[in-house]
Amino acid sequence: MQRIARHTVIVNGMPVIYETVGEGEPVILVHGLSGSTRWWRRNLPELSTHYQLYLIDLPGFGAMRRHSKHFRLEQAAVWLDAWLQALGLETFYLVGHSMGGYVCMSLAVMHPEKVKRLVLVSSIGIPFEPSVVRMLPHLFRGIWRTTPVFWPVVLTDGLRAGIPMVWNAASQIVALDALPVLTALNSPTLLIWGERDDLVPLSLARRLHTQLAHTQARLLVIKEANHVCMFEQPRQFNAALLAFFADQESNTATPVE
């Protein structure tokens, strides 16, 4: 794999740190709750041979942990758009995991002309818990039942963000009304889900798939994977992603009609 390059750009007067690797058309990777760019590390070697990958930490997380006061879930797409404008990226592929999925679909609604294809990975969008307290057991179960190699990654990122930041973001997630975004979304969309997802279960993926029927969205289920399927099963995930970007059907995961 090529060397991962680290950059800083000023967005709305704030220094924004991001990473790039690879060559080709741009693919933007956006992490989920308590995450960071490190959650995509197992996907980079293969994907970077086909595309130029842009990895970004949302305000309050990862390398952007000092900017927690700037995190507003319903405005995160506006912030992401300002960053992309600062980079001069006019069209791109967009991939969002969990909380990052909502950010990416919001951006796709704002600028459908810029988003060539949209991938939502175990994304929020369908309400699943009425409170953070009820959501936390599912989160801990999902972490426990994922591959042990991921445990130090999520622990380090959680500590970097801090409990107040994670709680704040989780509170915004459970209060989210994503219906206006879902009904307005028109980008070609792929849903990728872990078969054993404890946090955002497969039943919600099927409901989200139905909600996005007007986009002719595809749903692919990765077996033996939990909430962070791109880290747990990178070969299957990468194959599904590359096939979708090439407008082909993937034979490495289970399609759902």
Structural domain total, the chain: 1
Percentage of the chain lying above the pLDDT 90 cut: 87
Rounded mean pLDDT of 183-206? 96
SS3 string, the chain, reads CCCCEEEEEEECCEEEEEEEEECCCEEEEECCCCCCHHHHCCCHHHHCCCCEEEEECCCCCHHHHHHHHHCCHHHHHHHHHHHHHHHCCCCEEEEEECHHHHHHHHHHHHCCCCEEEEEEECCCCCCCCCCHHHHHHHHHHHHHCCCHHHHHHHHHHHHHHCHHHHHHHHHHHHCCCCHHHHHHCCCCEEEEEECCCCCCCHHHHHHHHHHCHHHCCEEEEECCCCCCHHHHCHHHHHHHHHHHHCCCCCCCCEEEC
252 vs 26, which has greater pLDDT? Answer: 26
Say what the pTM is: 0.95
Q: What is the pLDDT of residue 185?
A: 97
| pLDDT at position 150 | 94
What would the mean pLDDT of 54-81 be, rounded to a whole number?
Answer: 96
- pLDDT at residue 72, rounded to an integer: 96
The least confident of 219-223, 231-235, 247-251 is 247-251
Q: For 182-208, what is the mean pLDDT?
A: 96
In the prediction, which pLDDT does 225 show? 96
pLDDT at 257: 46
pLDDT band at 36 (very low <50, low <70, confident <90, very high): very high
What pLDDT digit, counting tens, does each position of 130-160 carry?
A: 789 888 888 888 888 999 999 999 999 999 9
**Minimum mean pLDDT among 37-41, 141-145, 205-209: which range?**
141-145
What is residue 140's predicted lDDT score, i.e. its pLDDT?
A: 85
Predicted local distance difference test score (pLDDT) of residue 143: 86
What CATH number is associated with residue 102? 3.40.50.1820
Domain that holds residue 177: 5-256
Q: What is the pLDDT of residue 252?
A: 61
pLDDT at 250 over 90: no
